[in-house]
Amino acid sequence: MDLNLQNKVALVIASSQGLGKAIAKQLVSEGANVMLTSRDETKLAAVQEELQSLGKGKVSYFPSDITKVEDIQALVQKTRDTFGKIDILINNAGGPPGGTFEQFSDEQWQKAFELNLLSYIRIIREVLPDLKKEGGRIINIASTSIKVPIPGLILSNTFRTGIVGLAKSLAEELAPYNILVNTVAPGRIATDRVAYLDQLKADKQGVSFEQIQEQSRKTIPLGRYGEPEEFAKVVTFLVSDASTYMTGSSFVVDGGMVKSI
């Protein structure tokens, strides 16, 4: 199966670590040219060096804060200036803090909205002129909370489901331009974000971090946390030429953890 990603240009948001980095690495391995971004320039430079050493696609980076409109505009323009076009957009952002409804102020709700939903909207708006030219792919990274709300994560539960509504609507609107829009939701993938949530749960229950991880593994039919590379391969398939008839869908990568149909 030829993914035909050679010389395609991908903008991967929040790609200095975790799932974003894993996706960028997989795309570069398939010959795509990738623009990395996050707020941490030191990490970005290190990831660029690591991925460039693969000897496959080209890698560049541009630091940005995706809650700022001017940073998004500069990022997209830098990608155009560097690679000449944009074929693939991977929307990704760090999760909002854990907590319950009564813990959060208006300011915290607004901040989560801007980071986890509005940023996706703004980035798509900026990239859209490029994708309209020859078609393309938009992947919005969410969470398994799009299927089953996660206790203690009300901010994520609220805005992640908004991502699904956005993707479903855009899939219909952008289909005439051959732009495919899908949502991919990670389950218990071994990232810093999941480690943070496990520690939060451990502190709340007064048990050890290891006990929480063991409890979580028991809820996963495959009996383990996923690896970022496993998640990245699913995303890479969806943005490739091997996937041409799936749009407006939500894909859960969770080892069978979510029990909803």
pLDDT of residue 101: 97
Q: What is the pLDDT of residues 82-125, one digit of tens each?
A: 999 999 999 999 889 989 999 999 999 999 999 999 999 999 99
Question: pLDDT value at position 261?
Answer: 83
SS (H, E, C) 135-197: CEEEEEECCHHHCCCCCCEHHHHHHHHHHHHHHHHHHHHHHHHCEEEEEEEECCECCHHHHHH
Q: Residue 191, by phi and psi: left (phi above 0), alpha (psi -120 to 50) or beta? A: beta
**Predicted local distance difference test score (pLDDT) of residue 1:** 81
Angstrom distance (rounded) from CA 245 to CA 96: 32
Residue at token pair 């709340």? 204
Q: How many residues does the chain have?
A: 261
Query: Which residues does the chain have with pLDDT short of 70?
Result: none
Question: Which pLDDT value is given to residue 39?
Answer: 97
Q: pLDDT at position 212, please? A: 93
* Bridge partners, residue 88, by sequence: 10, 137
66: nearest Cα among 16, 116, 134: 116
N-to-C CA span, the chain: 29
Which 8-state DSSP code applies to residue 115? Answer: I
Domains assigned to the chain: 9-187+227-250 (3.40.50.720), 190-225 (no CATH)
CB of 34 within 8 A of CB of 52? no
Task: Name the CA radius of gyration of the chain, rounded.
Answer: 18
Q: Are strands 88-91 and 59-61 parallel, antiparallel or unpaired?
A: unpaired
pLDDT at residue 204 in the model: 87
